[in-house]
Amino acid sequence: MKKKLLSMLLCTMLALPVALCAGCGEESTSTGGGNSTGGGNAQTYDIVVWVGEGTDVLTKNQIAKFNEENEWGVKFNARVEIVSESKAAGDVISTPESAADIFCFAQDQLARLVAWQRLGALNPASVEAVNLSDEGSVQATKIGDKVRAFPLTADNGYFMYYDKRVVPEEHVGSLEAIIEDCKAAKKNFSMNLTGEGGSWYAASFFYATGCKSEWQTDEDGKFTTHEDTFDSPEGIIALKGMQKLFKSGTYQASAEISDLTTAIPSAVVVSGIWSYNAAKTALGDNLGIAPLPSFNVDGKDYQLTTYLGRKLLGVTPQSDPYRALYIQKLAIYLTGEECQRQRFEAVKWGPSNSNLQADPTITTDALQALAASKTTPQGQYPTNWWAKLEIVTETVRKGTDDEATLSAALHTYSDSLAGLKD
């Protein structure tokens, strides 16, 4: 049924190239460049594809298979490059003339990509393919009511990798107990709360206490209103929780799994699925994986709360309507059930595809830990929001336990939000 729909859509769109172009992107500038040879629907296209670490060879093989099997006779001469999901969106925006045609990016970058007109609305057949994912993944692709990208994973969150020789299982639920275990073993606790990208992890303390930071956009991806309650008594409790790590003597501002095997190793690293294979290699049978622990302030426990977001596959706007259509077909293929299965088998990424999520063989102890975690949906945020939060955490790391100091840091943070737009 799906093949028929795609074939019918292709016939219609080939007859109406102007409509086709409008359906594949909202601007007519081709990014990623490349050439095409041949004519009609049997062409070879030069394209650039950006993917996350560890998936470049797999992606090359998947594109080669698409070239052999697709019913339209289209071939892609693809240059596949590793560009981190956190970096890709910024590069697409800042240097569109050299950006990839297809790129993997983190969900929270969707609004700014739309605002900068680097992603257009998908055509109807592509939207139907997106709908094969779980509901949360489908929603993650939208700004307003328009679908803008393809779901790739449903696992973009974080949890705790730990050394079972240092942290016993009965302690994994308590931040205070884990800190004492690390101190006793003279090992570190790695959680990036103050370094580059640290805000993504630091937010877990605020969401644990019931704080929220929710931002709304219009259909063009521009931020309109927000509700942020970090500057509150609950926000002060979150900062007191962070201070337990900062002042423990075990804190390491890092999310690098290599910390498990350095000269002065960490017994705990807070990271995500992308570190799974490396963690297994580092600790072998001594590796433990668990949801984030709780922390205690004034006799009350607060469960650290991870973001749960998605990795998405974006297609940059193209000036050639045929090229635009076929690149979207390739993106559908790369985010389809079989390719997601292969990606899980190779690097253990958690699929967004609903059928694979229902398959009991598509799981790991890391995915189970994420599923058992307390989570909050990944939202859209202005680019500078993350930097504003990093200023707070760095101030607290260097500061005192005085509640007035914590409150002042949050007041400054709250006042800085008014002008954030991108």
The DSSP-derived string for 279-343 is HHHHHGGGEEEE---EEEETTEEEE--EEEB-EEEEE---SSHHHHHHHHHHHHHHTSHHHHHHH
Q: How many CB atoms lie within 10 A of CB 358?
A: 9
| Distance in angstroms (rounded) separating the CA atoms of residues 17 and 325 | 10
* Closest to 192 measured CA to CA, from 259, 107, 240, 284: 259
pLDDT score, position 2 = 40
pLDDT score, position 10 = 44
Could you list the pLDDT tens digit for every one of the 422 residues in the chain?
A: 444 444 444 443 433 333 343 344 443 334 444 566 654 456 999 999 999 999 999 999 999 999 999 999 999 999 999 999 989 999 999 999 999 999 999 999 999 999 999 999 999 999 999 999 999 999 999 999 999 999 999 999 999 999 999 999 999 999 999 999 999 999 999 999 998 899 999 999 999 999 999 999 999 999 999 999 999 999 999 999 999 999 999 999 999 999 999 999 999 999 999 999 999 999 999 999 999 999 999 999 999 999 999 999 999 999 999 999 999 999 999 999 999 999 999 999 999 999 999 999 999 999 999 999 999 999 999 989 999 999 999 989 987 778 998 999 999 999 999 878 76
Dihedral angle sign, alpha carbons of residues 69, 74, 79, 81: negative
Q: How many angstroms separate the first and last alpha carbons of the chain? A: 41
Q: Which amino acid is at 52?
A: G
pLDDT score, position 419 = 79
pLDDT score, position 38 = 52
DSSP secondary-structure letter at 123? P
- Give yes or no for a contact between 93 and 116, defined as CB atoms under 8 angstroms apart: yes
| Domains in the chain with CATH codes | 2-155+310-366 (3.40.190.10), 159-307+382-415 (3.40.190.10)
pLDDT score, position 27 = 38
**Which tens digits make up the pLDDT trace of 19-64?**
343 344 443 334 444 566 654 456 999 999 999 999 999 999 999 9
Contacts of 61 (CB under 8 A, 6+ apart): none
Tell me the CA distances in angstroms from 268 to 175, 185, 213, one per residue in order.
Answer: 11, 12, 28
Residue that is written with structure tokens 């925006």 in the block:
93
Global pTM value: 0.89
* Closest to 344 measured CA to CA, from 328, 361, 369: 361
Tell me the CA distances in angstroms from 248 to 102, 179, 266, 374, 397, one per residue in order.
Answer: 44, 7, 13, 24, 11
| Distance in angstroms (rounded) separating the CA atoms of residues 31 and 55 | 22
CB crowding 168-197: b at 16 or more within 10 Å, else e = eeebbebbbebbebbeeeebbbbbbbbeee
Identify the bridge partners of residue 248 per DSSP, sorted by sequence position: none
